[in-house]
Amino acid sequence: MPIDRSFQTTWKQTETHRNHSVWHSKTSELGIHGTRVAVDFDECTGCMKCLKLCPEEVFELLEVSSSLLKADPVNESACLDCLACELVCPEEAIFIMRKPQESDTLSALLD
């Protein structure tokens, strides 16, 4: 299931982890890490596509348990809003917070 893009209004911020917020809903297990660069840990498979693509090294691979790897947005403040990670993620586990004029991915990329 794709990341819930309304998590900031419908999920609760429950903790801070490595300088970013962690959000939970009633049904989430691992939660969403990050706000400007948000990764749904329940959907992320640790495929590393976003890590390899990101020009700013926003993500680090986090081992949450034995052989369970997640893309942790440890450097979300460095994000350039290029949206490449959001597009490449096969699980639709990433959401980049849009600026007001960037309502969808395609128009943002064409700007």
- Nearer residue to ligand SF4 within complex by CB, 11 or 54: 54
Measured between alpha carbons, how far is 61 from 48 in angstroms, rounded to an integer? 8
The CB-of-91 to ligand SF4 minimum distance in angstroms stands at 4
By C-beta, is 22 or 83 nearer to ligand SF4? Answer: 83
Decide if residue 82 touches ligand SF4 (CB under 6 A): yes
Q: Does 108 bind ligand SF4 (CB under 6 A)?
A: no
Q: Are 48 and 39 in contact (CB under 8 A)?
A: no
Tokens (6 digits) for 106: 């395609």
Taking the mean position of all CA atoms in its chain, how far away is CA 89?
Answer: 10
